[in-house]
């Protein structure tokens, strides 16, 4: 398998492989321009987002500044508002459905490292070989249609958030959250059902 194939399969991969460095370079160049544009330059912003993201629906707003790793793994539906100062680490796919509200300072992460030190660090690492000194893996994140993520929410790798769910401000989402509920806290947990559904 290539390093890119390993990454997308959720296996350990070399995040400093040239393919990823090129993805980062392209994203940084596009974002450097995007993040300087005035609020009313919507057509120019749209053109950049179409180049940056894997796919983007209609009526999408991405506030400034916006940071992402590659951009190419982000898929956004229609009627989506992403407020200012959000960070999407899209080493694997980030899929956002339709009619989604994402407040300021939301962070979505797909990349992580093994918890065990012996697995996290490369025992045979040599600075001369160009590889990163620790092991990395990435898992996809999905935010279902109709969701609202409050300010400062952090979504961790491998998480899926069900449709129409609300995640309270400041929550850290460490595991899947079902549809039609309010979930809050660190770690984030369901506190009640909404939209006519009983808990």
- State the sign of the Cα–Cα–Cα–Cα dihedral 142, 144, 145, 146: negative
Say which DSSP state 136 is in. Answer: B
Please give the backbone phi and psi of residue 81, each rounded to the nearest 5 degrees, phi first.
-115, 120
CA angle 108, 114, 118 (to 5 degrees): 155
For 16, other C-beta atoms within 10 Å of its C-beta total 15
CA-nearest of 120, 121, 197, 124 to 165 is 197
Q: Can you read off the two tokens belonging to residue 157? A: 């790798």
Concerning whether 16 is annotated as a catalytic residue, the answer is no
For 100, other C-beta atoms within 10 Å of its C-beta total 24
> Which of the following is catalytic: 24, 72, 75, 113?
113
CA distances from 130 to 28, 91, 125, 127, 151 (A): 21, 19, 9, 6, 38
Measure the CA–CA gap between 113 and 193, rounded to whole angstroms. 33
Q: Name the residues annotated as catalytic.
A: 113
């Amino acid at each position: 398998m290539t390093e890119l194939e390993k990454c997308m399969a959720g296996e350990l991969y070399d995040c400093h492989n040239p393919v990823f460095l090129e993805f980062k370079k392209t994203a940084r160049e596009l974002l450097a321009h995007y993040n300087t544009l005035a609020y009313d330059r919507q057509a120019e912003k749209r053109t950049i987002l179409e180049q940056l993201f894997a796919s983007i629906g209609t009526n999408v707003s991405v506030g400034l500044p916006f940071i992402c790793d590659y951009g190419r793994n982000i898929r956004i539906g229609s009627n989506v508002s992403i407020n200012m100062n959000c960070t999407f680490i899209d080493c694997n796919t980030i899929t956002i459905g339709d009619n989604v509200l994402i407040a300021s300072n939301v962070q979505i992460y797909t990349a992580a490292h093994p918890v065990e030190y012996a697995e996290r660090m490369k025992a045979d690492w040599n600075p001369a070989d160009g590889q990163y000194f620790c092991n990395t893996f990435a898992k996809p994140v999905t935010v279902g249609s109709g969701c609202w993520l409050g300010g400062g929410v952090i979504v961790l790798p491998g998480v899926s958030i069900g449709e129409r769910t609300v995640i309270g401000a400041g929550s850290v989402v460490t595991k899947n959250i079902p549809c039609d509920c309010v979930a809050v806290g660190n770690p984030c947990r369901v506190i009640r059902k909404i939209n006519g559904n009983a808990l």
